[in-house]
Amino acid sequence: MLLELNDVSLSLKRDGKYVKILDGISLQVKKGETVGIVGESGCGKSMTALSVMRLLPEKAKLEGVIQLDHEDITSYSKRKMEKIRGNKMAMIFQDPLTSLNPLHTVGRQIEETLILHTDLNKEQRKRRVIELLNEVGLPRADEIASEYPHQLSGGMRQRIMIAVAMACNPSLLICDEPTTALDVTVQAQILDLMNHLKDVNEMGIIMITHDLGVVAEVCDRVVVMYAGKIVEQANVKELFINPKHPYTKGLLESIPKLGVKKAKLGSIPGMVPSPDKMPKGCRFYERCSSAMEVCKGTTPPMSSVGEEHTAACWLYEEKGGEMNGSSGSEGLEATLHN
């Protein structure tokens, strides 16, 4: 296993008090695998990524265990984290303009990562920069290396970000909405590039996106988050064909699909609860059309609902109960009611 999150929770200080933003996140990424994280705005996708990278706001309280290559990195010092960031793991953000330094040429920014993490000499670094720019599909690499971020288009900047991230051949690459700010034709180029790099480098990738089309196209496995918790996990085909959690179902029904014209889209009524007013039971309860009495008061455990397919919903607790060995009497009753 390349990356393993075990019961990770994160609390952030808001208006003087701690609010739990992530609650018991457990997920895994294998070598060469792309795992998608989807969910509504504010559900904690970025915070999950930033917890792994330990790029958290001040006074953040992180609990649980995060292992990279079987090493517990939660206990790493700041310095040690700095060393593995950009080296063993790297991250790409939605807006390349805010993560690139406007005052330095793009060549220099790529080179800086190489200075920080490799023993290459100046000559070798220059060559590696050109090589990287070529790898991410930028023409005229020589010229582009001496240009500044604002001189490049959005798609080119995102390619530079990818080049920076790839500079040290990280084993884990985290992408937070890498194509959201791009036009579809440019997004297609970047996704194509990422698919290619993934095949070549055997990286593990976390792909955070709100676009289920992107998920279907690049991910092997999907993690669905809702209000700071994981509600479902499955391989990509299984998730799209056989979604189990009512939230996932609602999400899939609400997207208009190219080539399919429907009179009416599905939709999920209501809105996401805010982190400081989380309901006691299932966090989806208020918006769920299958909700039962048990859902209101008690948080549903993660149940196995198929092969490597889990969902946190009382509808499935009967089956999950057998497999988990936990008694599911409440859930059983609930299922019967349904």
Partner 1 sequence: MALLEVKDLKQHFTIKKGFLGEKKKVKAVDGVSFHIEQGETLGIVGESGCGKSSLGRTILQLIKPTSGDIFFGGKNITHLPRKEMKELRKDMQIVFQDPYASLNPRSTVRAILETPLIVHGVGNRQERRKVVEGLIDKIGIRKDQLDRFPHEFSGGQRQRIGIARALTLNPKLIIADEPVSALDVSVQSQVLNLMVDLQKELNLSYMFISHDLSVVQHISDRVAVMYLGKIVEIADVEELYRNPLHPYTKALLTAVPIPDPTKKRDRIILQGDLPSPINPPTGCAFHTRCPVATPECKEESPELREKAMGHWASCIHVHHEQSEKTKINIS
Q: Six-digit token pair at 325?
A: 């060995």
- Which positions from 246 through 265 interact with ligand SF4, judged by CB under 6 A? 246
Closest distance to partner 1 from the beta carbon of 77 (Å): 38
Would you say 47 or 295 has its CB closer to ligand SF4?
Answer: 295
Note whether 41 binds partner 1 by CB under 8 A: yes
Q: Is 153 in the site for partner 1 (CB under 8 A)?
A: yes
Give the CA radius of gyration of the chain.
Answer: 21
- With contact defined as beta carbons under 8 Å apart, do 303 and 314 qualify? no
- Footprint of ligand ATP on 248-277 (CB under 6 A): 275
**Helix spans in 147-245 (H):** 154-166, 184-201, 212-218, 236-241
**Rounded Cα distance, 2 and 35, in Å:** 12
Report the residue from 22, 288, 302, 305 that binds ligand SF4 according to the rule CB under 6 A. Answer: 288
Q: What is the contact mask toward ligand ATP in residues 31 to 70, using x (rule: CB under 6 A)?
A: --------x-xxxxxxx---------x-------------
Judged by CB under 6 A, the number of residues near ligand SF4 is 14
Give CA–CA dist 285/294, Å, rounded.
10
Tokens of 261: 């014209």
**39 or 281, CB closer to Mg ion?**
39
Helix/strand/coil percent split, the chain, to 5: 40, 25, 35
- Per partner kind, with CB cut-offs from 5 to 8 A, the member of Mg ion, partner 1, ligand ATP, none near residue 259 is partner 1
Q: Count the site residues for partner 1 by CB under 8 A.
A: 46
- The verdict on 261 binding partner 1 (CB under 8 A) reads yes
Asked whether position 160 contacts ligand ATP by CB under 6 A, the answer is no
Taking alpha carbons only, the member of 224, 210, 295, 286 closest to residue 255 is 210
Which residue of 86, 170, 228, 300 would you call a contact of ligand SF4, by CB under 6 A? 300
| Bridge partner residues of 66 (DSSP) | 5
Residue 46 touches which member of partner 1, ligand SF4, Mg ion, none, C-beta under 5-8 Å by kind: Mg ion
User: What does 275 bind: ligand SF4, ligand ATP, Mg ion, none (CB cut-off 5 to 8 Å by kind)?
Assistant: ligand ATP
The listed partner (partner 1, ligand ATP, Mg ion, none) that binds 47, CB under 5 to 8 Å by sort, is: ligand ATP
Contacts 24+ apart (CB under 8 A), 40-44: 40/210, 40/226, 40/272, 41/210, 42/272, 42/275, 43/225, 43/226, 43/227, 43/228, 43/272, 44/10, 44/225, 44/227, 44/228
Beta carbon of residue 311, minimum distance to partner 1 (angstroms, whole number): 18
- Total residues in contact with ligand ATP, by rule CB under 6 A: 14
Q: 333: buried, middle or exposed (CB in 10 Å: 19+, 13-18, 0-12)? A: middle
Q: Which residues contact 225 (CB under 8 A, 6 or more apart)?
A: 37, 38, 39, 43, 44, 45, 48, 231
Angle CA 15–40–260, to nearest 5 = 160
The residue ranges that bind partner 1 (CB under 8 A) are 40-41, 153-156, 183-189, 191-192, 210-217, 236-237, 240-241, 250-252, 254-259, 261-269, 271
The residue ranges that bind ligand ATP (CB under 6 A) are 12, 14, 21, 39, 41-47, 57, 210, 275
